[in-house]
Structure 1
Amino acid sequence: MDNAELLKELRIGRHQREDHGGAGARWPWIIGALVVVLLLVGAGGWFWLGQRALPVQVAQAVSLSADRDAGAVLQATGYVTARRQATVSAQITGTLTAVLIEEGDRVVEGQVLARLDDSAYKAGLETARAQAAAARALVTQYQAQLSQHEHDRQRLDALVVQGLVSKQAAEQARTLVDSTRAQLAAQRKQAAAAEAQAQQAQVMFDYTVVRAPFSGVVTTKDAQVGEIISPLSAGGGFTRTGVGTIVDMDSLEVDVDVNEAYIGRVKPEMPAEAVLDAYPDWKIPAHVIAIVPTADRGKATIKVRVALEKKDPRVVPEMGVRVSFLEQQAKHEAATAPSGVLVPAKAIVQRNGHAVVFVVDGGQARERQVNPAAQSYGDLRLLPSGVNPGDRVVVAPDAALHDGSKVQIQPGKS
């Protein structure tokens, strides 16, 4: 029953006035009815006001670090690249019998990555070793013969002095010694050649094992067991030219293209900050390594190499990156500036003797106690804690606003 119907029920008819006989007897009833009506109206108004959403204006809290690009003299985009990267292949042609890597594996220098069929090379190595052993045996034989011939020559020389043998026999003995010595020298050369062939066979045999040329991370696996691998490209596409690709993560840097009209602003060793597209809130200290002395005619840009001063597993090759080139003073200020978020000064109000802000969350205002820093940035104030970047704070909150109040953001304000 609404207020109008209640007043209608309390109306006194003419016959009721006549029955009660006078105005004096009717006044207490009239006054009581009016009091009841006023109480009902007040309670309904209070209930309606308590449930009504208060219109508010909001502003987004901004990270202080996001405002530091003001010190950048130039910005450019590029990609993360590796200065040390290799597609590992075998130095001989052969069939893979084992592939011991997968994408993402970390390998160390000299680690075995794959093996080739080594049966033919093993047989060649054993043959070369046998030939080298035979050559060494002949050297030993000629050394023994030479020693015997020298002893015979000495005896014949003594007999010649005594006149027991002819001088011709002594000369023949000396000739035999010289001949054996020459044969020994030749055999030593042949033994050395056989040793060299054995070493060559050993090298070819070692080529059947593919090892990591340096420590790094495997980024691609390009071959499987049973495939033929060769250091040379073969027609038809049936021969692989690599087992996999290894990247030295410690050699990662950034290559950016700078418009040639602004390249004069960039100097070697200039400080910079790199921001990966995948992590927009993460600023990586960097500096310029070198300006590559050549221009891209089509894009009218010049490549600049930028070194990352902090290594992190999150940085991987081919990531998109934005580089801000800084002045020395700007870099120092960015390194020493305090952390926190910036909010409008009007968003900070006093409640019960404390500085607070109201953050809009799910259509309600949540009161958060804050301790503003002494620094001011125009009409913005720094809040070291209590508010996160991206939070929406109420600007100039009304005195009736309290923790848990329903709010409605005015259109066009965020």
Structure 2
Amino acid sequence: MTDKSELLRQLRIDRHERPAQTAPSRRWWWAAGLSGLLIAAGLAALFLLHSSLPMVQAAVAKPVALGAGADAGTSVLDASGYVVARRQATVSAKITGKLAQLFIEEGVHVKEGDIVAKLDDRNASAALLQAKAGVTQAESTLAQAKAAATDITPIYERDRKMAAAGVISATALDQSKATFDARQTDVAVAQGNLAVRRAALEIAQRDLDDTIVRAPFTGVVTTKNAQPGEIVSPLSAGGGFTRSGICTLVDMDSLEVEVDVSENFISRVQAGEPATLKLNAYPDWAIPAYVIAVVPTADRSKATVKVRVGFKSRDPRILPEMGARVSFLSRPQNGTNGSANATGGVTLPAAAVQANAGGATGIVYVLHDDTVERREVKLGARSGDAQAVIAGVSSGERVAVGDLTKLSDGAHVKVVDHS
């Protein structure tokens, strides 16, 4: 009985001790659940914070490579312009006439004095023959007048001696003198007439010479404006049926580039400074050039100043009216340690620079791990997607590329690509 009672006692559930045994277990589950929720919330907040960071790419500032020579430098300004000829002429005849022969075509090289065209010279030849005949007639008249003057001279001398001796009257001497003076006057008149005839002959000869049109200088014919049979004239007349020019002649040795530079940046350009040209037709061909002059006047309608740029070497591929892109170069500065000043600046992607008003300065954001530093820089020329930075960034520094409007000094960023 005792054993049965002991067994029943052991099997009995003590209701007062059970809550004491289960209370710690419940508190542990609540603590574990709360900790899990806090960890999940923290991870979610961290994820949201990281995902909300501005995403940027990284670009490395590269030094501008200087070419050989004392004129090598970095581009401080770019401008567009056109190839023009300082020596160019519309060749025309000095007189109005019908074009009889044409000896040129587009692209033909001619030398100074070469015959370009001939006009119908029949009228000029006839006028020359008439002028020659007039000269011949005037010469004959002069010879006749001189002969008459020669014949009257001894008669007048004899009458004067006879009048002195009282042989003839004073009236007879006066008549003899009048005849002598008249013959001398005839000689003077004939000489004057001969001079007029000779001048007319020279004019007629020049008119005939003017029917031959010659090249005023050595160059290349770029346009042909008239055809044989058309009337040409140095004046624009004839209701549109008269050609005012025969051809256009260009001196290829006088080619240069004219560009319009904004007056905001004209201080960067000086006469004699080096430059590099790239023709639109040959974008990969860098042509050495130099600044001839800055024209000392501005265009108020465009707020620009004209700059003349010359070629250091000639090439037959350079043609008038070609579009050109000019990069004005700064002379290299003396420097050491490979700094940006020593190399003349660095280049960055254009998307890494936020240009200020005017374009002379800008803002870049330099990367320091996952933060950025706002830095103001001095800008050079922009070429395509590359922007030259003259000062403010050193070679090798990493800058942010992306939507720069979302960045601020010291802001955290997410770098998604390294370059």
Q: TM-score range by the shorter chain?
A: 0.5 to 0.7
C-alpha contact (below 8 Å) 1:115/1:209 kept by paired residues: yes
What is residue 180 of structure 1 aligned with on the other side?
Answer: 183
Matches of 1:182 and 1:266, distance apart in 2:
74
SS in 2 for 1:81: strand
What is residue 260 of structure 1 aligned with on the other side?
Answer: 263
SS in 1 for 2:196: helix
1:169 Cα offset (Å): 3.0
Q: What does residue range 151-300 of structure 1 map to in structure 2 within 5 Å?
A: 151-300=154-303
Matches of 1:230 and 1:154, distance apart in 2:
60
C-alpha contact (below 8 Å) 1:253/1:306 kept by paired residues: yes
Matches of 1:151 and 1:158, distance apart in 2:
11
1:161 Cα offset (Å): 4.7
Matches of 1:109 and 1:152, distance apart in 2:
62
Cα pair distance change 1:186/1:250, threshold 3 Å: same
1:315 Cα offset (Å): 1.3
**CA RMSD between the two structures:** 2.9
What is residue 97 of structure 2 aligned with on the other side?
Answer: 94
What is residue 24 of structure 2 aligned with on the other side?
Answer: none
TM-score of the aligned structures, taking structure 1 as reference length: 0.61
Amino acid at match of 1:146: A
What is residue 320 of structure 1 aligned with on the other side?
Answer: 323
Matches of 1:224 and 1:293, distance apart in 2:
42
Cα pair distance change 1:325/1:156, threshold 3 Å: same
Matches of 1:167 and 1:263, distance apart in 2:
94
Cα deviation, 1:91-131, whole Å, max 9, x if unaligned, reads: 22211110100111111111111111111121111112211
SS in 2 for 1:192: helix
Amino acid at match of 1:172: Q
Tell me whether 166-175 or 73-82 shows the greater mean CA deviation: 166-175
Cα deviation, 1:248-292, whole Å, max 9, x if unaligned, reads: 111111101111110111112222222222233333222222222
Q: What does residue range 42-53 of structure 1 map to in structure 2 within 5 Å?
A: none
Cα pair distance change 1:156/1:298, threshold 3 Å: closer
Cα deviation, 1:190-229, whole Å, max 9, x if unaligned, reads: 2111111121122222221111111111001111111111
What is residue 20 of structure 1 aligned with on the other side?
Answer: none
Cα deviation, 1:60-119, whole Å, max 9, x if unaligned, reads: xxx977999861221111111001101111122211110100111111111111111111
Matches of 1:111 and 1:199, distance apart in 2:
23
What is residue 105 of structure 1 aligned with on the other side?
Answer: 108
Matches of 1:190 and 1:144, distance apart in 2:
17
Cα pair distance change 1:276/1:65, threshold 3 Å: farther
Matches of 2:225 and 2:246, distance apart in 1:
5
SS in 2 for 1:328: coil
Identity, in percent, stands at: 49
Residue 321 of structure 2 is aligned to residue 310 of structure 1: no
SS in 1 for 2:226: coil
Tell me whether 204-213 or 169-178 shows the greater mean CA deviation: 169-178
Residue 140 of structure 2 is aligned to residue 137 of structure 1: yes
C-alpha contact (below 8 Å) 1:273/1:324 kept by paired residues: yes
1:171 Cα offset (Å): 3.1
SS in 1 for 2:332: helix
Q: Rg larger in 1 or in 2?
A: 2
Tell me whether 321-330 or 63-72 shows the greater mean CA deviation: 63-72
TM-score of the aligned structures, taking structure 2 as reference length: 0.60
Matches of 2:290 and 2:176, distance apart in 1:
83
What is residue 118 of structure 2 aligned with on the other side?
Answer: 115
C-alpha contact (below 8 Å) 2:73/2:330 kept by paired residues: no
Matches of 1:261 and 1:71, distance apart in 2:
19
Matches of 1:237 and 1:167, distance apart in 2:
74
Matches of 1:330 and 1:89, distance apart in 2:
52
Gaps of 5+ in 1: 1-62, 332-377, 380-411
SS in 2 for 1:177: helix
Cα pair distance change 1:156/1:95, threshold 3 Å: same
Q: What does residue range 64-103 of structure 1 map to in structure 2 within 5 Å?
A: 71-103=74-106
SS in 1 for 2:282: coil
Matches of 1:156 and 1:295, distance apart in 2:
86
SS in 2 for 1:329: coil
